[in-house]
């Protein structure tokens, strides 16, 4: 914006100088008219450039705002990266020393009566899902769903493999949190050289009712004795878990309660 104004000002000064040179060749009134017209043309050009710059900025802002205003469609929950959560954590990272910290915005802005929000994690080892932990008390919903599901992991004690995992769901009505201790990785390979990495859903996705969606994962790859560590990035979080030596994958889903399913079934049959 400032560059546009400066260029416009320089153009005006240049034109005034040219007009003064022309003064010896044309009547004063003609020079004034010509100068006035040229100044108006420059002013119009400057305003047009300013409007273009403003419009471009507004378009960029609209794109950011549009990302924030994404709304789930009927029968599907919206899950999107919670950028505010991760950005805020950066301020405290030196103090908290998390191994892993990710957040997801979770939204369903229609009537959620008869729906429950459930979340948990799967443990993967040697390509297989070896255990599963889910919320024992699904979150009952009576209005709209608009909150954040966040997970953090930090070391406890001297070993980096002994961790504390905290999962939180927060919305305008408050939050629910759970913290569990865990030992990461394959105990038989804990002394092997290894690589640790994590990833999460990077773009907004729509998830149908009745299914869990993997949204975050933490992965470990071990040296098998050959002196090399084979690392791969799967097509999705669970595919990568299947290819890793050990992994924990966090997931979340919106489910229809049984009484609601019966109600929907009766409504469908009556139509």
Residue 125: name the closest of 240, 247, 249, 250 by CA: 247
Max mean pLDDT range (26-30, 179-183, 258-262, 265-269): 179-183
Give the H or E element holding residue 87. helix 83-96
Max mean pLDDT range (22-26, 108-112, 167-171, 248-252): 248-252
Predicted confidence (pLDDT) at residue 85 exceeds the cutoff of 50: yes
CA angle 183, 194, 96 (to 5 degrees): 55
Per-residue pLDDT, 71: 62
Tell me the mean pLDDT in the region 185-201.
92
Tell me the mean pLDDT in the region 124-148.
79
Structure tokens at 163: 């961790």
Predicted confidence (pLDDT) at residue 26 exceeds the cutoff of 50: no
Domain ranges of the chain: 2-64, 76-261
Per-residue pLDDT, 162: 92
pLDDT band for position 137 (cuts 50, 70, 90): low
* 263 or 59, higher pLDDT: 263
Strand partners, 39: none
CB 150 within 8 A of CB 85: yes
Unique residue bearing structure tokens 């907004």: 204
Residue 152 CA from chain centroid, whole number: 16
How much of the chain exceeds pLDDT 90, in percent?
36
pLDDT band for position 212 (cuts 50, 70, 90): very high
The dihedrals phi and psi of 188, each to the nearest 5 degrees, come to -75, -15
3-state secondary structure of 269: helix
Alpha-carbon gap, residue 244 to 123, rounded angstroms = 11
């Amino acid at each position: 914006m400032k560059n546009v104004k400066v260029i416009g000002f320089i153009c005006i000064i240049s034109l005034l100088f040219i007009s003064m040179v022309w003064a010896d060749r044309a009547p004063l009134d003609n020079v004034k008219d010509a100068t006035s017209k040229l100044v108006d043309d420059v002013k119009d050009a400057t305003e047009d450039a300013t409007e273009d710059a403003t419009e471009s900025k507004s378009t960029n802002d609209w794109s950011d705002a549009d990302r924030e205003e994404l709304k789930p469609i009927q029968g599907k929950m919206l899950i999107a990266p919670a950028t505010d959560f991760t950005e805020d954590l950066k301020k405290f990272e030196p103090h908290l020393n998390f191994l892993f910290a990710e957040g997801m915005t979770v939204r369903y802005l229609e009537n959620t009566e008869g729906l429950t929000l459930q979340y948990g994690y799967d443990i993967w080892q040697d390509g297989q899902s070896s255990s599963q932990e889910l919320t024992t008390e699904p979150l009952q919903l009576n209005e709209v769903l608009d909150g954040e599901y966040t997970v953090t992991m930090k070391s406890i004690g001297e070993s980096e493999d002994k961790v504390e995992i905290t999962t939180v769901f927060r919305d305008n009505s408050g939050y629910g949190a759970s913290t569990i201790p865990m030992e990461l990785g394959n105990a038989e390979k804990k002394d092997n050289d290894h690589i640790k990495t994590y990833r999460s859903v990077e773009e907004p996705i729509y998830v149908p009712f009745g299914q869990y969606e993997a949204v975050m994962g933490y992965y470990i790859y071990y040296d098998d004795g050959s002196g090399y560590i084979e690392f791969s990035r799967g097509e999705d979080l669970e595919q990568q878990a299947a290819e890793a030596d050990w992994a924990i994958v966090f997931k979340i889903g919106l489910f229809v309660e049984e009484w609601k399913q019966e109600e929907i079934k009766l409504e469908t049959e009556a139509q």
